[in-house]
Structure 1
């Protein structure tokens, strides 16, 4: 009797990191490095509409979008359904990349792949956590999910290293090592990493230290607000308004992202905040048809729609009669 042949397992890479750390940039870098392989992506965003899915390099990469909540807590059944769709894809992928919501607890997602039925087809190879060193120290104190993401990671990518001094970068690395003494730590800018890190299990940057035993608080109090604007937006005015708002409400507003139109006949601009910085850049590629009007997602705690509406109204281009 011949042995039963099981299909080769799909490699799974779970990408985590708090809001604005640079997960999508890292993902695009990995997809470029693995473009000769079959890849599928699952995008989970904390918000009603998907912005990051439009920023993923989709050449030869089908993308499944999940925007109904945090993948770690409220989407268990939906995630299982998506995994079934991956198995039924016309071409079974070599790799599955999951970009989790910025407030996700990766422990719950990783547990799913330890389920015997799921583990028969998928192999969770590595959990990656991307961090922004310019804000990490504050967010570890304020946001419980940041510590959870660090503690669960096999590879911690300290992105945007040029934003801080070498001495402070070393301090951040030691802080990270305090929370997770077993993960590899990689320092980079602009998410530039090679696919070799996906198979490298040896830490090469800092000596290991004991894990810090700490109390991790209750589930996050964050919420997202979607603002839609039908009129053209002055991007310079919006840049000024968002910069001022982040400066005044840094501990309340954690992330802003979206697509805006400055002209009805032009391509849109991508709006993203990273820590205290605001970036507005031209959208590359064909404009998504689902964005016929400007849409901005605000993520934070105790957000007030009225104050955000007032800020956006100051940026609307008023047509002169």
Structure 2
């Protein structure tokens, strides 16, 4: 397996206008059974409902929870707070930063991507929540900010959908949907953890649905494997054009020039990061796990496209799912 020292910690920024459901989502993460060690950085501890039974220790404003999560307040500059968290040498799978309701989450992610954090942090996703029943009010109150928040999202969570009609939701999608943004509908910010966090995908087994929190549909996954080198440019093109209901992908591939890459896909953003080695037991085999949302996902067509990314595909050697 790739060790902690071999890879940077992925960071998710949660944004959205006041009242959209960010704190509800943070509470969902802190109390969730996701099998991940997540550090959550919040603006207002007063709104966070940490179950006292989960708290194992507190030190310097850092709450350690029995499910592996830690929670700390943003009581100083973000750069300083991140440095302090990293220096604490806590074993962390993922960092979540809750943005203020009047903040542009893209600016926070820019901070995560500062050169000083290279090799230590990796910007994974900007997740933006929208109050389906109150977005018109947000636009009226702060049109530039609300639009910037929505436009910055890799994953857009249309929340509180139980408070409005289907016609209202359809009208919202028609007006505000962005072609490069994946959108799901939720109530009470109950977002499946498999869509929020890419950490650990390959270790969860082959081609069976992940455990996910029920929303309207279930998160589903499929694993693609390939023996032999990959045409990295062709693979990048396939991943950048995944069907809209496939939100996430993660894995490791071996390129035709011998380089190894860790692959991350969030929405339509694709990144290939140099990797020191493939996970133990793969011996040159590339692997990707793809996660989608809803029924009858077009996995079969995607697998066919991925099989065509083998560097030897023209000679008849293809990957297999």
TM-score (norm 2): 0.53
1:6 Cα offset (Å): 4.5
Kept in 1: contact 2:31–2:50 (CA 8 A): no
The answer to whether the aligner puts 1:63 opposite 2:62 as a matched pair is: no
Kept in 1: contact 2:30–2:50 (CA 8 A): no
- In 1, the alpha carbon distance for the partners of 2:50 and 2:141 equals 28
Aligned in 2, Cα 1:202/1:23: closer, same or farther, shift over 3 Å?
Answer: farther
Runs of 4+ with deviation above 3 angstroms:
30-35, 53-58, 199-202
Aligned in 2, Cα 1:166/1:107: closer, same or farther, shift over 3 Å?
Answer: same
Kept in 1: contact 2:17–2:146 (CA 8 A): yes
Task: Quote the residue 1:40 is aligned against.
Answer: 39
Task: Quote the residue 2:47 is aligned against.
Answer: 52
Aligned in 2, Cα 1:7/1:88: closer, same or farther, shift over 3 Å?
Answer: farther
Unmatched tracts of structure 2, length 5 or more:
56-64, 199-220, 222-241, 247-321
The answer to whether the aligner puts 1:14 opposite 2:13 as a matched pair is: yes
Task: Quote the residue 1:189 is aligned against.
Answer: 187
1:32 Cα offset (Å): 4.5
1:79 Cα offset (Å): 0.8
- In 2, the alpha carbon distance for the partners of 1:141 and 1:20 equals 14
1:168 is paired with a residue whose SS is helix
Task: Quote the residue 1:203 is aligned against.
Answer: 244
- In 1, the alpha carbon distance for the partners of 2:69 and 2:92 equals 9
- In 2, the alpha carbon distance for the partners of 1:107 and 1:159 equals 20
1:9 Cα offset (Å): 1.0
Deviation digits for residues 77-108 of structure 1 (CA, Å, limit 9, x no counterpart):
x1111111111224231110101111111121
Aligned in 2, Cα 1:182/1:34: closer, same or farther, shift over 3 Å?
Answer: farther
Higher strand share: 2
- In 2, the alpha carbon distance for the partners of 1:135 and 1:160 equals 9
Task: Quote the residue 1:146 is aligned against.
Answer: 146
2:48 is paired with a residue whose SS is helix
Task: Quote the residue 2:281 is aligned against.
Answer: none
2:127 is paired with a residue whose SS is strand
Task: Quote the residue 1:115 is aligned against.
Answer: 114
1:34 Cα offset (Å): 5.5
1:141 Cα offset (Å): 3.2
Q: How many residues align?
A: 186
**Root-mean-square deviation over aligned CA pairs:** 2.5
- In 2, the alpha carbon distance for the partners of 1:55 and 1:21 equals 20
Aligned in 2, Cα 1:62/1:33: closer, same or farther, shift over 3 Å?
Answer: closer
TM-score (norm 1): 0.53
Aligned in 2, Cα 1:202/1:114: closer, same or farther, shift over 3 Å?
Answer: farther
Kept in 1: contact 2:34–2:193 (CA 8 A): no
Kept in 2: contact 1:159–1:191 (CA 8 A): yes
Deviation digits for residues 108-162 of structure 1 (CA, Å, limit 9, x no counterpart):
1111122222132111111000111111023223312211110110011011101
1:33 Cα offset (Å): 4.6
Task: Quote the residue 1:164 is aligned against.
Answer: 164
- In 1, the alpha carbon distance for the partners of 2:180 and 2:12 equals 18
Kept in 2: contact 1:44–1:101 (CA 8 A): yes
1:31 Cα offset (Å): 4.0
Aligned in 2, Cα 1:184/1:113: closer, same or farther, shift over 3 Å?
Answer: same
1:24 Cα offset (Å): 1.7
